[in-house]
Amino acid sequence: MIGVDWGTSSFRAWRLGADGGILDRVSAPRGILTVEAGTFEAVLRELVGPWLQAGEDTILVCGMAGSRQGWKEAAYLPCPADAAGLARALTPVDFAGARCFLIPGLSARDEQGVPEVMRGEETKILGLLDRLPPGRNVILSPGSHSKWAIVQDGTVLSFLSQFTGEAFAVLSTHTILARTLDKSAPMDWAAYDEGLVRARQPGGLLHHLFGMRARGLFGELADASAASYLSGILLGHEVAATLPEGTSHVFLVGDGGMMARYARALAHAGVTTTEVPEEAAATGLWHIGQSLGLETTR
Amino acid sequence: MIGVDWGTSSFRAWRLGADGGILDRVSAPRGILTVEAGTFEAVLRELVGPWLQAGEDTILVCGMAGSRQGWKEAAYLPCPADAAGLARALTPVDFAGARCFLIPGLSARDEQGVPEVMRGEETKILGLLDRLPPGRNVILSPGSHSKWAIVQDGTVLSFLSQFTGEAFAVLSTHTILARTLDKSAPMDWAAYDEGLVRARQPGGLLHHLFGMRARGLFGELADASAASYLSGILLGHEVAATLPEGTSHVFLVGDGGMMARYARALAHAGVTTTEVPEEAAATGLWHIGQSLGLETTR
């Protein structure tokens, strides 16, 4: 089968063997924002053509391709949800010569009833299932909107999102903080740690943001350290507000740079982490494919 | 004397009588961003010319005109500070035919040693002195960066800033939240109150921001209500994080729209408020002028 993670800004696909092994891979800067309406089938065919010619006839697609702005809307599946549930909720799309399905995202409600959504992360989370110990596990997927999921025995029980990545992007670009912040500077881990410490002090996130400005004015925060400090403040606040009580370990799945930052923020909170490569999505796609096979042969 | 509040985007001036009464006033869209370097004296002369011709010979200027980007930098005066202290720390600027001084801003350190600054608000705060009861009082000045000051017996003991106004501006303009937010809609007080309630729930500010997005996606938050809801979330977080323990009353000084929002957020937290018109700056300028008179005639 062919598994695809088709996001807002990037496209990744894998040819998967019967045992879930990765036989081949392709990636391209062809996120859904670059795809004209009505051309999703053609773009996909172009990118995975050789595998189709080699006989593959099943394609599973996760990510923003299933959003309103994508190929076709694949309605969110409410939690609790597992691979079999996702396989039952696939949205078929036309693809000459193969069967092609969009995987729905997941929805949930937080304890106060406010809705939650994810699209793409659910597949990465399913890709981790084989690595998880029995019982309740916390999985964190960094991103513009990071996702903290509670998973037990193969089922995503609930999850919670944080606006951290997007907040960092706008604060470091469009506010007065940007004037004394050098985005091109390398990561300054000491400044990042200062931000983590700051996040545990009183006054709240909005106060800590102003203090960053004042530190810059007083020559107490170098432009080259400012982005790292801001990142520490934001991730420190995220971890303090989100970490489920009693959590001692978190599984991290996602991209390299942010993984190290989250691992450090969690270590600062006394929590150990396991980092799982982003290719977990390939395994997740295979798990859903397995469930799909069972469904269709019955 | 002539008192001037010269800010980033606006210019306001008052002709003040010997008893502090306002004899005349002028305002213009001539904030320091509109003034070319080297032309501050000329612009000021143009705006208050008639009062000079009528015999005024002392001008006191507060606000961003005293910043590095303004007329001349008037170094921050550290707290605790009072009117006499500010009068002793004035920065003279050349002005043919009159004595003209810039009032310094104030600086402070929060309990963790992180610096704080204000410029302009100190003068408004001094303008409230006659209205304050004896003892410790909390004064809140809304703005891009709101200021919470602790004032006792005429002295600003300390203060704390919050990035709330600027955070609202960038979140409602440059993030995904902007896509489902109608800025032109009138204030929706019910949505604002929902935001205040939301701010007291678990998950933190960054989670509450994502929840706003998800509510929009699920049709549970109208575009016309989104800005009010966001405002309630932010002010709710600000008040919860900043309100000094045991505070039952806050004096609000500032502009109309934000005053009502802060009064409501504080009422939600069980705190009563007194709203003081922004022209408090004129009274503050007069107080500093009085101290200046004493200093110079001794």
| CA–CA dist A135, B286 (Å, integer) | 69
Q: How many CA atoms lie within 13 A of A271 on its CB side?
A: 27
Per-run averaged pLDDT (10 residues), chain A, 298 residues = 94 95 96 95 97 96 95 97 95 96 97 96 93 95 96 96 97 95 97 98 98 96 98 98 96 89 98 90 93 57
The pLDDT value recorded for residue A292 is 82
> Which positions in chain B have a beta carbon within 8 angstroms of at least one beta carbon in chain A?
107, 110-112, 114-117, 145, 160-164, 166-167, 170-171, 173-176, 198, 201-207, 209-211, 213-215, 217-218, 220, 234, 237-238, 240-242
Which pLDDT tens digit goes with each residue over B115-167?
999 999 999 999 998 889 999 999 999 999 999 999 999 999 999 999 999 99
> What is residue B285's predicted lDDT score, i.e. its pLDDT?
95
- DSSP letters spanning chain A: -EEEEE-SS-EEEEEE-TTS-EEEEEEES--GGGS-TT-HHHHHHHHHHHHHHTT--EEEEESGGGSTTSSS--PPEESSEEHHHHHHT-EEE--TTSEEEEPP-EEEE-TTS-EEEESSHHHHHHHTGGGPPSSEEEEEE-STTEEEEEEETTEEEEEEEE-HHHHHHHHHHHSGGGGG--TTSPP-HHHHHHHHHHHTSTTHHHHHHHHHHHHHHTT-S-HHHHHHHHHHHHHHHHHHHHSPTT--EEEEEE-HHHHHHHHHHHHHTT-EEEEEETTHHHHHHHHHHHHHHHHHH-
The pLDDT value given to residue B121: 95
**The pLDDT value given to residue A216:** 95
pLDDT at position A296, please? 47
Close Cβ partners of A52 (under 8 Å, ≥ 6 residues apart): A2, A45, A97, A98
| Chain-chain contact of B238 with A174 (C-beta, under 8 angstroms) | no
CB contact under 8 A, B207 and A117: no
Smallest Cα distance from A197 to chain B, Å: 11
- How much is the pLDDT for A279? 85
Tens digits of per-residue pLDDT, A249-290? 999 998 778 999 999 999 999 999 999 987 889 999 999 999
Residues on A contacting B at a C-beta cutoff of 8 Å = 107, 110-112, 114-117, 145, 160-164, 166-167, 170-171, 173-176, 198, 201-207, 209-211, 213-215, 217-218, 220, 234, 237-238, 240-242
Say whether B204 and A174 touch across the interface (CB within 8 A).
no
Cβ-based contacts of A166 with chain B (< 8 Å): 175-176
List phi, psi (to 5°) of A180.
Answer: -120, 40
Contacts of A207 in chain B (CB under 8 A): 110, 160-163, 241-242
Residues in chain B within 8 Å Cβ distance of A219: none
Contact B211 A115 (CB under 8 A): yes
Q: Which residues from A are below 8 Å from B163, CB to CB?
A: 175, 206-207, 209-210, 213
Q: What is the pLDDT of residue B257?
A: 85
Contact assignment for A161 to B214 by CB distance below 8 Å: yes
**Nearest-by-Cβ selection for B164 from A117, A206, A213:** A206
Which residue of chain B has the CA closest to A210?
B163
Low-confidence ranges of chain B (pLDDT < 50): 295-298
Q: At what angle do helices B164-174 and A164-174 cross, to 10 degrees?
A: 100
Q: Judge: A203–B175 Cβ closer than 8 Å, yes or no.
A: no
